[in-house]
Structure 1
Amino acid sequence: MVPSTNFLLFLFFFSVFFLSGTSRRTKVGAAGVRLNLDGGITLDGASRGKLTSPSQATQRLSLISRHLDQRLPLPELNTPFSTERNSLPSDDLEYNPLHRSTTITTPLPPPFSSSPNTSTSTIMSTQAPHSTLLIPGPIEFDDAVLQSMAHYAESHVGPGFVKTFGETLSMVRKLFQSTDPAAQPIVVSGSGTLGWDIVASNLVEKGENALVLHTGYFADSFATCLETYGANATQIKAPIGDRPSFEQIEQALKEKPYKVVTITHVDTSTGVLSDIKRVAEIVRRVSPETLVVVDGVCSVGCEEIAFDAWDIDVVLTASQKAIGCPPGLSILMLSGRAVNVFQNRKTPPAAYYASLANWLPIMKNYESFKPSYFATPATQLVHALHTTLSQITARPMPERFAAHAQASARVKAAIEGLGLQQLAAKPENQAHAMTAIWLPEGLAAPDVLPGLLKRGVIFAAGLHKECPTKYIRFGHMGVSVTDPARKDIDNALAALKDALADAKQAKGL
Structure 2
Amino acid sequence: MHEKLLMTPGPTMVPERVLKAMAKQPVHHRTPDFGEIFKSMNRKLQEVFETKNYVLTFPASGTGGMEAAVANVFKPGDKVLAVSIGVFGDRFAQIAKRFGVDVDILSYQWGYAASPDDVAQRLKSSKYKGLLITHNETSTGVINDIEAICKRVREADKDVLIVVDAVSSAGGVPVRVDANDIDVMVTASQKALMAPPGLAFVTVSERAWKAMESDGVSYYWDFKAAKKGLQKAIPDTPYTPAISLIVAQNEALSMILEEGLENVFLRHQNIAHATRAALVSLGFELFPQESISSPLITAVKAPQGFDVARFLALVDQRGVVLTGGQKHLKGQIFRIGHMGYINKDFLMRAFEAIEGAMVDMGYGVEKGASIKVLNEILN
1:154 correspondence with 2:12: no
Q: Is the 8 A contact 2:22 2:247 kept in 1?
A: yes
Residue 420 of structure 1 corresponds to 284
Correspondence list, 1:158-307, <5 A:
158-178=31-51, 180=52, 183-307=53-177
Q: Is the 8 A contact 2:315 2:354 kept in 1?
A: yes
Residue 405 of structure 1 corresponds to 269
1:500 to partner: Cα distance: 2.2
Taking the aligned partners of 2:105 and 2:116, their CA distance within structure 1 comes to: 14
Q: Is the 8 A contact 2:58 2:65 kept in 1?
A: no
Q: Is the 8 A contact 1:149 1:381 kept in 2?
A: yes
Q: Compared with structure 1, are the counterparts of its residues 362 and 210 closer, same or farther at alpha carbon in structure 2 (3 Å cutoff)?
A: same
1:387 correspondence with 2:260: no
2:226 to 356, 359, 366: 359
Taking the aligned partners of 1:505 and 1:388, their CA distance within structure 2 comes to: 40
Taking the aligned partners of 1:439 and 1:300, their CA distance within structure 2 comes to: 29
Cα distance per residue 1:339-394 (max 9 Å; x no partner):
2212x24xx311111111221111232xx4x1545210111111001100111112
Cα distance per residue 1:451-506 (max 9 Å; x no partner):
1112221101211x11212211101122223xxxx611122123212312322459
Residue 325 of structure 2 corresponds to 462
Taking the aligned partners of 2:99 and 2:175, their CA distance within structure 1 comes to: 28
Cα distance per residue 1:381-427 (max 9 Å; x no partner):
11001100111112331111011001101111112222212221x22
Corresponding letter in the other structure for 1:492: A
Correspondence list, 1:268-347, <5 A:
268-342=138-212, 344-345=213-214
Q: Which runs of 4+ in 1 moved over 3 A?
A: none
Question: How large is the Cα RMSD of the aligned pairs?
Answer: 1.6
Q: Is the 8 A contact 1:435 1:475 kept in 2?
A: yes
Residue 446 of structure 1 corresponds to 309
Q: Is the 8 A contact 2:38 2:235 kept in 1?
A: no
Taking the aligned partners of 1:285 and 1:245, their CA distance within structure 2 comes to: 15
SS at 2:328 equivalent: coil
Q: Compared with structure 1, are the counterparts of its residues 505 and 284 closer, same or farther at alpha carbon in structure 2 (3 Å cutoff)?
A: closer
Taking the aligned partners of 1:291 and 1:501, their CA distance within structure 2 comes to: 51
* Percent of residue pairs bearing the same amino acid type: 29
Q: Is the 8 A contact 2:302 2:308 kept in 1?
A: yes
Residue 97 of structure 1 corresponds to none
Higher relative contact order (CA 8 A, sep 6+): 2
TM-score by length of 1: 0.69
Structure 1, unaligned runs of 5 or more: 1-107, 109-128
Q: Compared with structure 1, are the counterparts of its residues 404 and 245 closer, same or farther at alpha carbon in structure 2 (3 Å cutoff)?
A: same
Taking the aligned partners of 1:315 and 1:423, their CA distance within structure 2 comes to: 27
1:208 to partner: Cα distance: 1.1
Taking the aligned partners of 2:317 and 2:238, their CA distance within structure 1 comes to: 47
Q: Is the 8 A contact 1:324 1:388 kept in 2?
A: yes
Q: Compared with structure 1, are the counterparts of its residues 313 and 443 closer, same or farther at alpha carbon in structure 2 (3 Å cutoff)?
A: same
Q: Is the 8 A contact 2:186 2:200 kept in 1?
A: yes
1:477 correspondence with 2:323: no
Residue 496 of structure 1 corresponds to 354
1:435 correspondence with 2:298: yes
Q: Compared with structure 1, are the counterparts of its residues 501 and 453 closer, same or farther at alpha carbon in structure 2 (3 Å cutoff)?
A: same
Taking the aligned partners of 1:480 and 1:395, their CA distance within structure 2 comes to: 13
Taking the aligned partners of 1:390 and 1:364, their CA distance within structure 2 comes to: 23
How many residues are aligned here? 364
Cα distance per residue 1:5-35 (max 9 Å; x no partner):
xxxxxxxxxxxxxxxxxxxxxxxxxxxxxxx
Structure 2, unaligned runs of 5 or more: 365-379
Q: Compared with structure 1, are the counterparts of its residues 232 and 505 closer, same or farther at alpha carbon in structure 2 (3 Å cutoff)?
A: same
1:161 to partner: Cα distance: 0.8
Residue 13 of structure 1 corresponds to none
Taking the aligned partners of 1:321 and 1:461, their CA distance within structure 2 comes to: 17
Q: Is the 8 A contact 1:445 1:462 kept in 2?
A: no
Taking the aligned partners of 2:363 and 2:293, their CA distance within structure 1 comes to: 30
